[in-house]
Amino acid sequence: MNPTSSLPAVLSSPADARGRRVLTGYRPTGKLHLGHLLGNIQANLALQETNECYFFVADWHALTSGYEDTSDLHANVVELVADLVAAGLEPERATIYRQSDLPEVAELNLYLSMITPLGWLERNPTHKEQLRELSTRQINTIGNLGYPVLQTADITLVDGEVVPVGEDQLPHLEIAREIVRRLAHIYGEGLLLEPSALVSGGARVLGWDGRKMSKSYGNAVFLDDAAETVAEKLRQYITDPEKIRLKDPGRPEICSVFALHGLFTPAADVAVVDAECRAGERGCVACKAELAQNVNAMLDPIRTRKAELGEDEIGDILAEGARRVRPVATKTIERVRRGIRL
Ligand code: TRP
């Protein structure tokens, strides 16, 4: 471990992460969509240019709520890696690996589980929310309660200093810091690094129904949707309800299609969209078609790359990632075993 000066708990600018080791995990729960691309992946593409990055597929985390039906798990892992690489994560630059290829994660999880008080986990808002919302499944298990402990093992095993995550993950990162401090208190300083969250505030992408884009809401535009499917999904978007005819003036500030233009359309053209809409010179149908063109321009190279990626190539990427991360993991786990005096 390279003990560096410690960072604040939460960073908001990627510039604050300069020179630090970055690590983040993705749960394999299905195809990625525009919300993932703009909210998170684009920020991670930028980080891989300037930082030593580890991106991994958290397949064990998928088991914490989905242990009963694992029929799609392997396919979801392959799909996720294909989406990430197609979107631009570069296996030559960043280390891309699968959690379950690294048994040291499970060993570290065990040690951390020994010292983590139940109360810290019972207070975790994600766990409480899952108990409420997934009431049809038996979710009150050690594994689900221990989700943040496993996440702490992921991060600290690889000496992750900066962890790019969404706001919803901040409680988990806080627990991770507390666990690292408790380990130091019990066995001595210097065994694990205390990680910082990087909340880079990527764009919030809305679905056609005005809710946050999410696979479970059925409002997602997936990265590998065909161009015509993208256009069709965009046609469903609700625009200004008072703009009924083409010539009615519209209010871009309340229109989710306009919000998407802001994300996908060149700034000069966005100004034209805004002016024409307000002047009643632009119909919603044409406006959505123009948006579809711009979204498709961004998705074209991603779709092409994804179609080229075969399962063999994905397997090679994960094997190479595992080969690269293993020495890092071995060093940490040996340090921790010594610290515990095993
Ligand atoms: N909990 C994260 C999520 O749901 C996934 C994850 C697992 C993760 N382990 C991690 C993220 C380690 C960052 C670091 O998105």
Among 182, 179, 256, 175, smallest CA distance to 221 is for 256
The number of the ligand 1 atom at minimal distance from the alpha carbon of 150 is 9
In one letter, which amino acid is 297? A
The answer, yes or no, to whether any atom of ligand 1 lies below 6 A from the CB of 109, is no
The number of the ligand 1 atom at minimal distance from the alpha carbon of 164 is 13
Computed from CA positions of residues 157, 161, 165, 167, in that sequence, does the dihedral angle turn out positive or negative? positive
* 131 pLDDT higher than 90: no
* Measured distance CA(28)–CA(45) in Å, rounded: 19
Indicate the pLDDT class of residue 3, thresholds 50, 70 and 90.
very low
The answer, yes or no, to whether any atom of ligand 1 lies below 6 A from the CB of 61, is yes
pLDDT in tens, 204-258: 899 999 899 998 899 999 999 999 999 999 999 999 999 998 899 999 999 999 9
Can you tell me the mean pLDDT for 32-50? 93
The answer, yes or no, to whether any atom of ligand 1 lies below 6 A from the CB of 149, is no
- Inter-residue contact 221 to 33 (CB < 8 Å): yes
The answer, yes or no, to whether any atom of ligand 1 lies below 6 A from the CB of 165, is yes
How far is the centre of ligand 1, averaged over its atoms, from the C-alpha of 39 (Å)? 15
Indicate the pLDDT class of residue 1, thresholds 50, 70 and 90.
low
How far is the centre of ligand 1, averaged over its atoms, from the C-alpha of 2 (Å)? 23
| Alpha-carbon dihedral angle through residues 159, 165, 169, 170, given to the nearest 10 degrees | 80
pLDDT of residue 98: 98
* 4 pLDDT higher than 60: no
Residue of 102, 109, 112, 169 with the most ligand 1 atoms within 8 Å of its CB, for mutation: 169
Better pLDDT: 125 or 110? 110
- Inter-residue contact 125 to 171 (CB < 8 Å): yes
Query: Within 13 Å and on the Cβ side, how many CA atoms surround 115?
Result: 19
pLDDT in tens, 287-332: 999 999 999 999 999 999 999 999 999 999 999 999 999 999 999 9
Average model confidence (pLDDT) across the chain? 94
Rg (CA), the chain: 22
* 169 pLDDT higher than 70: yes
Can you tell me the mean pLDDT for 125-142? 84
CB atoms inside a 10 Å sphere around CB 327: 9
Which tokens in the block code for residue 334?
């040996």
163 φ/ψ angles, rounded to the nearest 5 degrees: -120, 100
- Inter-residue contact 199 to 165 (CB < 8 Å): yes
How far is the centre of ligand 1, averaged over its atoms, from the C-alpha of 152 (Å)? 9
The number of the ligand 1 atom at minimal distance from the alpha carbon of 26 is 5
Assign 3-class secondary structure to the chain. CCCCCCCCCEECCHHHHCCCEEEEEECCCCCCEHHHHHHHHHHHHHHHHHCEEEEEECHHHHHHHHCCCCCCHHHHHHHHHHHHHHHCCCCCCCEEEEHHHCCHHHHHHHHHHHHCCHHHHHCCHHHHHHHHHCCCCCCCCHHHHCHHHHHHHHHHHCCCCEEECCHHHHHHHHHHHHHHHHHHHHHCCCCCCCCEEECCCCCCCECCCCCECCHHHCCCCECCCCHHHHHHHHHCCCCCCCCCCCCCCCCHHHCHHHHHHHHHCCHHHHHHHHHHHHCCCCCHHHHHHHHHHHHHHHHHHHHHHHHHCCHHHHHHHHHHHHHHHHHHHHHHHHHHHHHHCC
Indicate the pLDDT class of residue 130, thresholds 50, 70 and 90.
confident
pLDDT in tens, 63-107: 998 998 999 999 999 999 999 999 999 999 999 999 999 999 999
Domains and CATH numbers, the chain: 10-205+311-340 (3.40.50.620), 227-305 (1.10.240.10)
Measure CA of the first residue to CA of the last residue in the chain; give whole Å. Answer: 20
How far is the centre of ligand 1, averaged over its atoms, from the C-alpha of 196 (Å)? 13
